[in-house]
Chains A and B, each alone.
Chain A
Amino acid sequence: MKITYKIFLLIAISAIGITGCKKDFDNPNAATEDQVFSSVQGLTGVAISLQKIYVSGLTGSYYNIVDANGLVTNELFLVNPGNIPELQFSTGGNAVDGTNTVIANIWSNANKIIYDGDKVLAASEMLADKNYASGLIGYTTIFKALALGSLSQFWDSIPTGIGTNVKFVPRVDGYNRAVTAIDKALAAISANAISTSFTANIPPGISIINTLQALKARYALFAGSYTVALAAANAVDLTVKSSFTFDALNINPIYQFATATNNVFQPIDSTMGLPIGLRPDLLDKRVPFYMTINTSIAPRFRINGFGATALTPIPIYLPDEVRLIIAECLVRQATPDLAGAKLILDFILKQTPAADPYGVGADLPLGYTGAIDAASLLTEIYRNRSIELYMSGLKLEDMRRFNRPLSERKRNFFPYPFRERDNNPNTPPDPAF
């Protein structure tokens, strides 16, 4: 057999040639940062991801806020003590520490939303289509404000921004930054109305302008700026719903991880965890709105309300929250309007479920029967906030604002997550309680 080397050589070289020496492969699985921030679709997608981070899943902010806030303020009962972060909350005090993953999720999500949100806001200003841009700015600002709010509600000091070794400032700064961001967004929207092509591109259910005004009212109130809060609250159209909606692929997180599993938390009972004197009236229809009774399988009280089913939308704010903000401002403002506050409380207590856009109504025809003084009205406002805004994550802030005794809650502020403390020398010391 006569064979030349050349044949072998040819085979070998051509075989190697098939695969070649290519070393630059594009990633088909995802888009790069440059691609995303240089296109309208990319920017919209990143903005939508902020809603996803805030609302969706076990690690999403919303579920973790309801979980942490509910357990430390006695709204909720821990079904299974094998859930360690939840066990920390329900034990309270120094059992809550920096390893708590629920706390870490709220912290990390807030910073992520601010990080990506700021990038979207900066890029939106460069867009030629100003009407699309204003929608993008408004929508993104909702989540930036919610993120800042979630930091200020749970931590005594909050980071000044995004970066390496960021400094910390008192938490009121977070509320003020949220209000500033909302003002900027409202200005952009009033200059150029939001185009319908933008609203068609985001998940349905959100009324951007009303939400911005409502959040401005909420955070201005928390910051003590009653005039600002009052003005913003009055600007909200209380007949319009604005909520996070779900579909089969992305379902209501409270339903998914608490209601359906019956393994994490459930309502404490029909007292909603309130002390004697503040508990809901036995006929208050807001209680059956928020909880059902299961007589055969423990525990007896089960989540209803905004965690009832897989597709139940979660309101970003309730019209009655806005009314209660107005009432509180009227009482707390420089020249209090106690009668005005009483009128609002009467409205809220008498309101039937059918009259409320979301079906949250007390239906107590007597209305407010207590004393007309600032202290009594404020207590009644706190009581109604606790019932009306049950399991919405706002109660810890309310307890502090209304000077409720520390014994009513299991923790006043959260410790800073270890992942922050270990990697940022500017992290303040943890509060004792």
Chain B
Amino acid sequence: MRKNFKRIFNGCKYKLLFVFLTVITTASMGQVKIAGRVTNASGNGINAVTVAVKNTPYATATTSDGNYELSANVKPGKYVLLFSGVGYKTQETTIDVNSASISTDASLVQDALNLDEVIVTGTSAGTTRRQVGSYIATVKAEDLTRGATGNVLAALQGKTAGAQITQNSGDPAGGMSVRLRGISSISSSSEPLYIVDGVIVNNSTNRVTNTQGNYDGQGFVGTIGQNRLTDINPADIERIEVLNGAAAAAIYGSRANSGVVQIFTKKGKTGAPRVSFSSNLILSSLRKKLDVNQSPTKFGGPTDGPGAQTQDVLTPALTNTTPVTRYDYQDDIFRKAVGTDNNISVSGGTDKTKYFLSGSYFFNQGIIRNTDYQRYSFRTNVEQVLSNWASVSLGLNYVNSSANEKPDGNSFYSPMNSVTIIGNFHNIHDRDVNGNLKAVGERGRVNPLSVIENIKQKQTTGRIISNFGIKLKPLKNLTLDYTLGMDNFSQLGTSFMPPFTYNVSDGFYGGGAGLDPTRNGYASTGSNTFFGINHDVNATYNMDITNNISSTTQVGFSQQYEKNNYSLVQGRGLAPFVQVASGFSTPLPTADERSELSISGVFLQQNFKFYNNFFLTGAVRVDGSSVFGKNQRNQTYYKVSGSYVISSTKFWESSSLKNIWDLLKLRVAFGQSGNLTGIGAYDRFNVYSSSSYVGRGAFSSSTRLANENVKPERQEELEVGTDMSFLGNRINFSLNWYNKKVTDLLISRVIAPTTGFSNLIDNFGSLTNKGFEVMLGGTPVKGKDFTWSINGIYNHNKNKATNIGTGLILFSTNGGAPVAILQDEPVGVFYGTFFAKDASGNLIKNTAGIPQIERGIQNSPSTYTTQRDANGLPTGTPLRRIIGDPNPDYTATLVNEFTFKRLSMRVQLDAVKGGDVFNADFRTRQGVGNGKIAEQEQRGELPRGYVSGIYAIEEWRIDDGSFTKLREVSLSYNVGKMKWFSDLTFSISGRNLISWDNYKGYDPEVNAAGQSTILRGIDFGSVPIPRTFSIGLQAKF
């Protein structure tokens, strides 16, 4: 069977499959009007409850008073009317269509755990939470727009279990990374697959700015810059579903290794046009300022001019002192920033045509001077019923964004690092007679004001995401749908570093002391265009086998194709006034990189439902990707899951337990998924890349050898969980335990250079993520006017690399972080030299009182023997061990919500505990003398030579990354109907207001390596996350 399946698949003959499914008939129809009112337990009408005639395309929604009216073109007979509303249990009422007008009322029961909420993920027709055997988180619109952010991923922070969402940079369009149940790959991105209305949307990070190639020592920088999900406007979103692992995401097959995030945008609803408008004023500022060195003297000679001597602290031979004036340059680079977020939407429709139109303008300044980000976004979602069995839909989203940036932190010409790398004793505002800034010290550093005033970097993106869908219901129980998704964007980045007027090092694109005109200044233009298309065809067949057993069968086919072109022109040694890359006198290597890949897959999913309390689902998916060799191309993934709602059994319903224990659901799921895009489109080929060398063409072989028969990575996940609720749904509890194992891990492993190569990319070893997620919620107070609800999420994940061999994989990173992958350890630990300690754990110091680096014999990467000399000081080779781990022990969120009459308040606390940060900037501040430890040495409170003595001890840069943040606070007052407004709300909210931490830098929530999978928790010149306030109003007309 499996073989046949594959053969069909290979031959592309599966297209024929759909021809079989279209042999259908139609029968005579009649028009019927169904109307009624939907109320809650206290008899009040409920707004926006969907009323649908089951297994037909006819549906509508209730108005604000709970009334609905629906016209359906159906044959006479018995039908089921479905009432479903957010927060209510779905109700089914059987109606008998025998007259032209039917009246049916319904009273809905609150559903705290949203058991009957419809989940679209993984099926074309949707299923209910009751049925799924795996945990799927849902986040609703109102939770996304209250947190004072214009970034959808920032808005998701703390709102979904099992996700660690990190803002890597405080830039206004700063990168965000999402890790669902830990990382799932080493070689590729661990960001989940994003699907917006059926379109697979690209969330890549492309370096069209920060293109400088020699970028500080060619170290491993990571994945820096904007990630493209910044293009999605949170205000357009109706709902987000998050699938944490393979157990839930198996039917997404080959690209679901890191989980799936499905985003559904708002749709029109039947009724008169509704105009919604919201406007917010955003105010951002630096949350925490660092204390700087206030010592009145420095060691050695003058700070500037002839004989200048900076980095005095690191030169212990200097013992004379010079009085200096101290400055705080933070005021020169930071500012109070403002922004606005304006959204308008119009939605409405008739029985046959529904539309949602929106326009948005978001503008936000960065807290770094002269940085900002703006985004225009337009969206149209239209659905048209063509006949009683067919409907089409079209969604179009155009986004245009532009960002004024400053160089990324990883360079010393970035705003943060230009301040970090100099002693705070230069008057940086000092100018020569021509008004030009002057050099800072003798080392050719960049004056921070040059970065703020002169260096320009701009990134613009135009993007169209469109989806076209056809939904057919040719037979009573058969649904066919087809989705065509296209994602097309083009990014353009320009960088301009004008020639410096003072001594700036060649390494920072200066012209040196002689202002060499062929080297001074830098300009580049980088562009990246992406085109992606995906086709998905699904057929769903529902069948009642007996009265109590029903079946849902689904078959689907998916075809995806992606094309990406990246190009770069750059040069240095600029002519005055000219900002474009063609104005250079020294060309730098250009880039022109093209890639294409395609993936296709078919799947079959079978679901059985017994007595509405026991559910069983099995699925199989076969996928093929062009990225892998012919023999490894096609992969098969299986999934099986079960769900047992014990509280819906006859036994439970008739027992007295029912009175206090409302819900008990047990679920178990197992699934497999792959990573068919785990390596680059052509990474399996061993190639010779061409470049120019002194006017001749060179063909260089890669330092990395590829196994041309590499396989995709595979993930298997077992998830067991339960959902419970008690005391009339006042207390809710869910627990997920999971064990994710990624095998055939693609690692570029270090091999002996005597093989002719330094790395070999192949399927080595595996990776496990084990953990659990607990969600506990309750409503301590629930009164007529006042309600207090409290919800908590606790996530624990333990990541471990296994079977990767005993060798050490050590990355030479840009910020100096010694990031390693070691057998049986979490991926991305910090591995390096450490402080020598005595038996009782105290630091060993030399006679001068300076702590010592541990020495001895390194027996293997993870074992060593310490040695002491006659004076009890360490002797031998400097030893290395794991000195820190950026992976947190747990993350947690606590949300308190209060409503008092029309006033509501929401307070969200996020905690990340137990992770370490490699605080490179902390050490630099001491080395160059603007930090507080340097001050102590200059004031004589620490022995002379203290900083230089411990400078090489990498453990000194390990900092406590734990924090608890007051992530979101929002307060809103609903005025309700007022004059020409049908609804009016005022709100004030805050984001990242307070952080409780012991971190020695600005903010432990940081990653200078951006969205990198392996490099986490590195603080090297990153812009700290601002404290943000937002004041706004939301109005409906």
Can you name the residue of chain A whose Cβ is closest to the Cβ of B444? Answer: A262
Q: Which A residues lie within 8 Å of B24 (CB)?
A: 5
The docked-state distance in angstroms from the alpha carbon of A233 to that of B205 is 56
A263 touches B443 (CB 8 A): yes
Q: Which A residues lie within 8 Å of B513 (CB)?
A: 294, 297
The docked-state distance in angstroms from the alpha carbon of A422 to that of B595 is 35
Stretch of B751-759, B787-795, B1022-1030 with 4 or more beta carbons under 8 angstroms from chain A: B751-759
Stretch of B158-166, B302-310, B319-327, B665-673 with 4 or more beta carbons under 8 angstroms from chain A: B302-310
Report if B726 contacts A (CB, 8 A): no
A261 touches B506 (CB 8 A): yes
B593 touches A29 (CB 8 A): yes
Q: Which A residues lie within 8 Å of B586 (CB)?
A: 248-249
Bits for B591-628, please: 1 = Cβ < 8 Å to A, else 0: 01111111010000000000000000000000011100
Can you name the residue of chain A whose Cβ is closest to the Cβ of B625? Answer: A23
Q: How many residues of A contact B (CB 8 A)?
A: 98
The docked-state distance in angstroms from the alpha carbon of A6 to that of B535 is 18
Report if B943 contacts A (CB, 8 A): no
A31 touches B214 (CB 8 A): no
B699 touches A107 (CB 8 A): no
Question: Of the candidates B314, B507, B855, which one forms a contact with A261 in the assembled complex, judged by CB atoms under 8 Å apart?
Answer: B507
Known contacts A45-B698, A256-B506, A417-B753; A21 and B600 CB within 8 A of each other = yes
Name B66-97 residues within 8 Å CB distance of A. Answer: none
Known contacts A23-B626, A163-B755; A15 and B484 CB within 8 A of each other = yes
Question: Of the candidates A52, A82, A161, A165, which one forms a contact with B951 in the assembled complex, judged by CB atoms under 8 Å apart?
Answer: A82
Q: Which A residues lie within 8 Å of B309 (CB)?
A: 298
Stretch of A111-119, A214-222, A360-368 with 4 or more beta carbons under 8 angstroms from chain B: A111-119
B390 touches A29 (CB 8 A): no
Report if A277 contacts B (CB, 8 A): no
The docked-state distance in angstroms from the alpha carbon of A247 to that of B217 is 21
The docked-state distance in angstroms from the alpha carbon of A52 to that of B701 is 11
A419 touches B753 (CB 8 A): yes
Can you name the residue of chain A whose Cβ is closest to the Cβ of B24? Answer: A5
Q: How far is the CB of B685 from chain A (nearest CB, A)?
A: 6
Report if B128 contacts A (CB, 8 A): no
Bits for A1-40, please: 1 = Cβ < 8 Å to B, else 0: 1110110110111011101111111011111110110000
A263 touches B519 (CB 8 A): no
A12 touches B689 (CB 8 A): no
Report if A352 contacts B (CB, 8 A): no
A166 touches B754 (CB 8 A): yes
B689 touches A29 (CB 8 A): yes
B694 touches A297 (CB 8 A): no
Name B511-566 residues within 8 Å CB distance of A. Answer: 512-513, 516, 518-519, 533, 535, 537, 557, 559, 561
Can you name the residue of chain B whose Cβ is closest to the Cβ of A302? Answer: B513
The docked-state distance in angstroms from the alpha carbon of A280 to that of B758 is 42
B470 touches A8 (CB 8 A): yes
Report if A407 contacts B (CB, 8 A): no
Q: Which B residues lie within 8 Å of A260 (CB)?
A: 505-507, 512, 519
B750 touches A249 (CB 8 A): no
A46 touches B696 (CB 8 A): no
Question: Of the candidates A248, A263, A418, which one forms a contact with B587 in the assembled complex, judged by CB atoms under 8 Å apart?
Answer: A248
The docked-state distance in angstroms from the alpha carbon of A247 to that of B691 is 13
Report if A176 contacts B (CB, 8 A): no
Can you name the residue of chain B whose Cβ is closest to the Cβ of A427? Answer: B752
Stretch of B183-191, B844-852, B874-882 with 4 or more beta carbons under 8 angstroms from chain A: B874-882
- The residue among A11, A33, A82, A87 with the most chain B CB atoms within 10 A of its own CB is A82
B753 touches A111 (CB 8 A): yes
Stretch of B117-125, B802-810, B986-994 with 4 or more beta carbons under 8 angstroms from chain A: B802-810
Q: Which B residues lie within 8 Å of A162 (CB)?
A: 754-756
Known contacts A21-B600, A420-B754; A49 and B700 CB within 8 A of each other = yes
Q: Which A residues lie within 8 Å of B872 (CB)?
A: none
Bits for B493-513, please: 1 = Cβ < 8 Å to A, else 0: 000000000010111000011
The docked-state distance in angstroms from the alpha carbon of A204 to that of B696 is 9
Q: Which B residues lie within 8 Å of A33 (CB)?
A: 686-688, 701
Q: How far is the CB of B831 from chain A (nearest CB, A)?
A: 10
Can you name the residue of chain A whose Cβ is closest to the Cβ of B590? Answer: A249
Stretch of A95-103, A186-194, A223-231, A385-393 with 4 or more beta carbons under 8 angstroms from chain B: A95-103
B688 touches A9 (CB 8 A): no
Q: Which A residues lie within 8 Å of B624 (CB)?
A: 23
A201 touches B696 (CB 8 A): yes
- The residue among A19, A95, A204 with the most chain B CB atoms within 10 A of its own CB is A19
A81 touches B948 (CB 8 A): yes
Bits for A305-317, please: 1 = Cβ < 8 Å to B, else 0: 0000010000000
B808 touches A418 (CB 8 A): yes
Q: Which B residues lie within 8 Å of A165 (CB)?
A: 752
Some 28 contacts from A to B, beta carbons below 8 A apart, are: A11-B482, A12-B482, A19-B533, A22-B598, A23-B625, A24-B626, A25-B597, A25-B682, A45-B688, A45-B690, A46-B701, A52-B700, A58-B214, A81-B951, A82-B924, A84-B952, A94-B877, A97-B877, A108-B753, A161-B754, A248-B587, A261-B444, A263-B505, A295-B306, A297-B308, A298-B307, A298-B308, A424-B754
Q: Name A's B-contacting residues (CB within 8 A).
A: 1-3, 5-6, 8-9, 11-13, 15-17, 19-25, 27-33, 35-36, 41-42, 44-46, 48-49, 51-53, 56-59, 80-82, 84, 87, 94-95, 97, 99, 101, 104, 107-108, 111-112, 114-116, 159, 161-166, 201-204, 245-250, 256-257, 260-263, 294-298, 310, 417-420, 422-424, 427
Q: Name B's A-contacting residues (CB within 8 A).
A: 12, 15, 18-19, 22, 24, 214, 217-218, 305-309, 311, 314, 386-387, 390, 442-444, 470, 472, 474, 482, 484, 503, 505-507, 512-513, 516, 518-519, 533, 535, 537, 557, 559, 561, 585-589, 592-598, 600, 624-626, 633, 681-682, 685-701, 703, 750-758, 806-808, 810, 812, 816, 855, 858, 861, 876-878, 880, 924, 927, 948, 951-952
